[in-house]
Structure 1
């Protein structure tokens, strides 16, 4: 496995070997990996070299350390491309996962100044506020809050919001969803996130705000989501813009 005559750095060879074990399912999520000392003795390399390889895998989110216990295999992250407008339900089905939602509440509230501004409605206009925990194969992934004008959309029920709101709006109401603007930033888990997503306060999270629009430019919804940073990552393909 380790070729000390190779120009490839030894730490990188060890890192690649562990990755191969992860990809082959030899090491599974939750498994502990050998200690630095065990790797060093098995392959007659320095513990510093082993530590460099393991640190790299920890930084990638493939492994994680548990203080006083050792290093373990992390759960595989769900990857979502940032091309195309899809719902959480559609994303999970594409990945062979079973999407479910736990509804915290569905109610009509008066739009505050921020929500009204984002939806281009008057302050205090009625909006649906839908707060849900989004799960994949039963594991909490995100805490999501949707705001939708009650003048634009009607008939939202617990059954509808527990499935796919987009499917209902397109198939039942005939609304033509066209595009969205999405922003992503890093935040730390709050007490609410700790409670609903079963993670520790201060845990790294991804805060995502999405503004969705109909084909005629009418704002359809404002979505504020908190995703688990240890279980979710986003990919984007970027093409080189050529100077004219």
Structure 2
């Protein structure tokens, strides 16, 4: 059955799916070199651009990465950590009421600078307040490397960007997130957060930190989402190694 499904896919997707299975089964371990474009083209009897497209598909998914002048290798983070990847979309639902509170180039806090490896002490900030139809509120603060200020100029406007700021950034620079890392914790709200979220003092909040990097490990966004008490909903869906085993 799986072979029949593969046959229906474009050739480059057949190749990338085959390589992905090798990685998930451990036949290509983290750090191992994957076949080159030339080797894949010969093995699959396809043109070099088709083989290159297959490798680029895996690269965009964060499963492999390239080293200049060397080759393409399985990422150390393992393809099985990919469960976060589909969750990097817009932080707001389409029917949410969103107010962009701040959009500017400012001094980056140390936590932000360390999270995305900023070479300079300044960054682009976008802060927004979202209110869902049910009345739940979320305060979202997103940070971007300051070099994006010149090319992705709409990051500095107080407008809601269709598809979200990260999607907009991807359309401008031609690079999207391949690795997404999230940390979740609880703490007391700051004075500013209490003001935006209309909370008493003291008040506990749920905080989600998310860092997005491209296939080469370059930071694209660091986001903090602050959720007030009473509206904490986190849903996660995980893929495990057994998923690869079940396809054999």
**TM-score band (shorter)?**
0.5 to 0.7
For the structure 1 residues 212 and 238, does the alpha-carbon distance in structure 2 shift closer, same or farther, using more than 3 Å as the test?
A: closer
1:143 aligns with 139
The size of the alignment, in residue pairs, is 157
Measured after TM superposition, the shift of residue 132 of structure 1 is 1.2
Q: By percentage of residues, which structure has more helix?
A: 2
Measured after TM superposition, the shift of residue 162 of structure 1 is 8.0
CA contact (8 A) 1:177 1:215 kept: yes
Measured after TM superposition, the shift of residue 190 of structure 1 is 3.1
Show the 5 A alignment for 1:213-232: 213-232=213-232
CA deviations 1:72-120 (Å, max 9, x no partner) are: xxxxxxxxx9673233446x24xxxx12321221110133433222222
Alpha-carbon distance between aligned partners in 2 of 1:178 and 1:100, rounded to the nearest angstrom:
29
Alpha-carbon distance between aligned partners in 2 of 1:236 and 1:163, rounded to the nearest angstrom:
21
Alpha-carbon distance between aligned partners in 2 of 1:195 and 1:162, rounded to the nearest angstrom:
27
- TM-score scaled by structure 2? 0.54
Measured after TM superposition, the shift of residue 206 of structure 1 is 0.5
Alpha-carbon distance between aligned partners in 1 of 2:114 and 2:91, rounded to the nearest angstrom:
27
Measured after TM superposition, the shift of residue 204 of structure 1 is 3.0
CA deviations 1:27-70 (Å, max 9, x no partner) are: xxxxxxxxxxxxxxxxxxxxxxxxxxxxxxxxxxxxxxxxxxxx
Show the 5 A alignment for 1:5-16: none
Q: Alpha carbon RMSD of aligned pairs, Å?
A: 3.0
Q: By percentage of residues, which structure has more strand?
A: 1
Alpha-carbon distance between aligned partners in 2 of 1:113 and 1:120, rounded to the nearest angstrom:
10
Q: Secondary structure at the match of 2:178?
A: strand
Measured after TM superposition, the shift of residue 236 of structure 1 is 2.6
- TM-score scaled by structure 1? 0.55
Measured after TM superposition, the shift of residue 142 of structure 1 is 1.2
CA deviations 1:138-196 (Å, max 9, x no partner) are: 73521121110121453122225586102212334422222210011112333322211
Measured after TM superposition, the shift of residue 129 of structure 1 is 1.4
1:110 aligns with 107
Q: Secondary structure at the match of 1:229?
A: coil
Measured after TM superposition, the shift of residue 234 of structure 1 is 0.7
Unpaired segments of 5 or more residues in structure 1? 1-80
For the structure 1 residues 183 and 163, does the alpha-carbon distance in structure 2 shift closer, same or farther, using more than 3 Å as the test?
A: same
Q: Specify which of 118, 124, 129 is matched with residue 128 of structure 1.
A: 124
